Structure 1
Amino acid sequence: MLARTSLTRLAANKAPLGAAPAGARNMATLREIELRLKSVRNIEKITKSMKMIASTKLAKAQRAMQAGKEYGIANAEVFKVAQTDKPAPRKLFVVVSSDKGLCGGIHSSVSKATRRAIANSPESPFAVAESSNKTAAPATPSNTPATEIDADSPIMVIGDKSKAQLQRALGQNLVLTFNQIGRDIPTFADAAGVADLIVKSGVKYDSVVLVYNKFVSAISYEAAVNEIKGEEALKESDGFKAYEMEDDFTKDLAEFSLANAIYAALTEGHACEQSARRNAMDNASKNATDMISSLQMQYNRGRQAAITNELVDIITGASAL
C-alpha cells in the first residue's frame, strides 16, 4: 500500500528538475538562475568589447591631446604679453563635455565645477583665473546654495550630458548649447565653428571661462578652468599698447585665441572621456565576473539539492517495495 502511494505521488509530480516547492515564495528556480547567468555572460561580453574599443580610442585621443596642447601653449604665450590687472566684470562660462554616457563621473565633474566657478564667494578657487593657462582643482563643497549663484553669468554648454545636469540647477543661465561636437576625435574645425557661433551669438562678455576635464593620467582626471581674455582686455593690456596695430587686429586675435583654447579643451576632455569609459567598462566586466561566479555556485547548489531530493524519493519508493 505504501509503495503504491509513493509511486502514485512520483507519477503525479510533473514539475521539472530544480523547480521550487509548491508552497515556496520568492525562491529562484534553477531555470531562473540559468537565465540570469546567460544574461550576465552576455553583458560581460559587451563590456569587455567596449573596454577594448575604448582602449584603442584612448591611444588615438592621447595623440590628439598632445597636438591640442600645443595650441594652448601658444595661447599662454600670447596672454603673457596681454596680461592686465583689470578684472573682467562679465564672464561667459563655456562648459566642455560630450553627448555620450557610460563614462563614469566625467559630466558631473564639469557640472559641479561650473556651479563652483560661478558661485559668488571670493574664496572659491575657480572665482578668479589670472592667466589663460592656469587650472585649479575643485576644493570647495559641491552643494553650493542657490542663493550664491550669480544669475547674470551666461553659460554655454558643449554636450548634451552636462546640459541636462545644468538645466536643473542653472537653467535660467543657459544661453546656447552645442551637440554632435567631437563625436570622434575633435578637430580644429569643430573648435573654430563653436568659437564662431559664440562670437555671433550676441552675448556680451569681457572674458570666456572654459570649464573642462584636465587629463592627469590614464586612470584619473580633474576639473579645470581656463580664462580667455576678450577683445577689450587685449586692447587695454600694456603689451599691445606698445605696438601700433590695426583696429581689427585685437578682434581677430581674440577669436583665434578662443578657438585655440576650445580646441585644446576639447581634445583633453575627449582623452579624459575615453580613459573614464575604459575604466568604467573594466569595472563593469569585473563585477559581471563576480556575479557569474556567485550565480554559478547558487545554480550548482540548487541542482545538487534537487537531485538529492529526487534520489531520496526514488530510494524511499524502492525501499517500500
Structure 2
Amino acid sequence: MATLREIEMRLKSVRNIEKITKSMKMIASTKLSKAQRAMNEAKKYGSANTELFQHATAEESPKRKLFIVISSDKGLCGGIHSSVTKATRRGLRGQPISESEGKAVEVDSDSPIVVIGDKSKSQLSRALPKNLTLTVNQIGRDIPTFADAAGVADLITKLDAEYDSVVIVYNKFVSSIAYEAAYMEISNEKILRESSGFRTYEQEDDSTKDLAEFSLANAIYAALVEGHACEMSSRRNAMDNASKNAGDMISSLQLQYNRGRQAAITNELVDIITGASAL
C-alpha cells in the first residue's frame, strides 16, 4: 500500500498535469475558432475544383494513383492521424477510403504515397515502406497558407513517380466534436486534355499544364486547412477529456490520502490511550 508521502507526491503531479491540460484546451479552443474561419474561406477553393473536374472525366477509371496523406507533425490530438493512415491502407487494399461514402477506389497496390506530416509518416513507414515516395513536414504549425500548398504541389509535379490521378486523403470537418476520413480525386494534365468537356475548346499545352498544377494546389490547400481545423478540434476534445480524467484521479487520490491520514491519526491516538492506560 502506498504511503501518505507517495500519495501526496502523486497528487501534486496530477494537479500539475491538470493545469497543463486545461491550458492546452484553452489554447486549442482559441486556435479552433481561427481555423474554422480559415476553413470556411478555403472551402471555396475546393468547391471550385469540384466544379472543374465535373467536366473532366476519363474514359477509363485510372488505376495508377498518387495518394497524398494530410496529417501534421504534432500529437496529443486523439486518433486523428491514425484515421487518415487507416483510410489510406483501406484504399490501397481496394476497400472504401471513406466509411460514410462506402465507395471503393480502383487502385494498384503499389501506388506511390506522399505524406504531409511526421505522424502519418511514422505510421505508414512501418505499414507501407515501399510505397512512400515523398514526405513533407513543418506544415501546419500555424494555419496553412496557399503558399504552403503551392510548394507541396510543386514538389509533387517534379516527382519521377508515374500516376494517372491524385487522391488526397484528409480529415473532413463534421462538427466541433466530430471528424471523419475523406478523400478527393484530382485529374492530371493528360486526363484534362483528353476529356470531352475540354476538347470542345482549343487549349494550349502550357495552359492545361498550368491549370492542372493550380487545381492540385487548390485541392491541397483546401485539405490542409480543413485537416488543421480537425486537428485543433480533436486536440481540444482530447485535452478536455484529459482534464476530466485528471480531476477524477485527484478525487480518488484525495479520498485515499484522507483515509490513510485518518488511519494514521487513529493509530497514534490508540498508542497514546494505550500508553496512558498502562501508566
TM-score range, shorter chain: over 0.9
Structure 1 residue 250, shift from structure 2 partner: 1.1
C-alpha contact (below 8 Å) 2:63/2:108 kept by paired residues = no
**Match for residue 253 of structure 1?**
211
Structure 1 residue 125, shift from structure 2 partner: 2.4
Among candidates 219, 232, 242, match of residue 200 of structure 2:
242
Among candidates 247, 266, 283, match of residue 224 of structure 2:
266
Among candidates 125, 137, 140, match of residue 96 of structure 2:
125
Corresponding letter in the other structure for 1:137: S
CA distance in 1 between counterparts of 2:267 and 2:86 reads 58
SS of the aligned residue for 2:198 comes to helix
**Match for residue 3 of structure 1?**
none
TM-score by length of 2: 0.96
Matched, 1:163 2:121: yes
Structure 1 residue 204, shift from structure 2 partner: 1.6
**Match for residue 227 of structure 1?**
185
**Match for residue 286 of structure 1?**
244
Taking the TM superposition and a 5 Å limit, the aligned residue runs for 1:144-155 are 150-155=108-113
SS of the aligned residue for 2:60 comes to coil
- Structure 1 or 2, whichever has the larger Rg, is 1
**Match for residue 70 of structure 1?**
44
**Match for residue 103 of structure 1?**
77
**Match for residue 100 of structure 2?**
137
C-alpha contact (below 8 Å) 2:64/2:108 kept by paired residues = no
C-alpha contact (below 8 Å) 2:68/2:167 kept by paired residues = yes
Q: Unaligned regions of 5+ residues in structure 1, if any?
A: 1-26, 127-134, 141-148
**Match for residue 23 of structure 2?**
49
Structure 1 residue 203, shift from structure 2 partner: 1.7
**Match for residue 22 of structure 1?**
none
C-alpha distance after superposition, 1:113-150 (max 9, x if no partner): 0000111x3xx223xxxxxxxx663769xxxxxxxx94
Distance 1:77 1:150, change over 3 A: closer
Matched, 1:190 2:148: yes
**Match for residue 206 of structure 1?**
164
Task: Give the alignment's Cα RMSD to 1 decimal.
Answer: 1.4
C-alpha distance after superposition, 1:214-263 (max 9, x if no partner): 00000000000110000000011001100012111111111000000000
CA distance in 2 between counterparts of 1:97 and 1:77 reads 26
Matched, 1:218 2:181: no
CA distance in 1 between counterparts of 2:8 and 2:263 reads 16
C-alpha contact (below 8 Å) 2:66/2:163 kept by paired residues = yes
C-alpha contact (below 8 Å) 1:113/1:138 kept by paired residues = no
CA distance in 2 between counterparts of 1:186 and 1:51 reads 21
C-alpha contact (below 8 Å) 1:138/1:223 kept by paired residues = no
Structure 1 residue 89, shift from structure 2 partner: 3.1
Distance 1:44 1:138, change over 3 A: farther
C-alpha contact (below 8 Å) 2:64/2:164 kept by paired residues = yes
Corresponding letter in the other structure for 1:47: T
Structure 1 residue 82, shift from structure 2 partner: 1.6
Structure 1 residue 84, shift from structure 2 partner: 3.2
Among candidates 249, 257, 264, match of residue 306 of structure 1:
264
CA distance in 1 between counterparts of 2:70 and 2:200 reads 35
**Match for residue 10 of structure 1?**
none
CA distance in 1 between counterparts of 2:47 and 2:205 reads 26
Matched, 1:180 2:151: no
CA distance in 2 between counterparts of 1:161 and 1:185 reads 18
Q: Unaligned regions of 5+ residues in structure 2, if any?
A: none
C-alpha distance after superposition, 1:68-127 (max 9, x if no partner): 1000011011112223342113100010000000000000000000000111x3xx223x
CA distance in 2 between counterparts of 1:284 and 1:229 reads 42
Matched, 1:84 2:61: no
CA distance in 1 between counterparts of 2:50 and 2:8 reads 60
Structure 1 residue 62, shift from structure 2 partner: 0.3
- Aligned-residue sequence identity (percent) comes to 76
Matched, 1:116 2:79: no
CA distance in 1 between counterparts of 2:267 and 2:204 reads 94
C-alpha contact (below 8 Å) 1:94/1:158 kept by paired residues = yes
TM-score by length of 1: 0.84
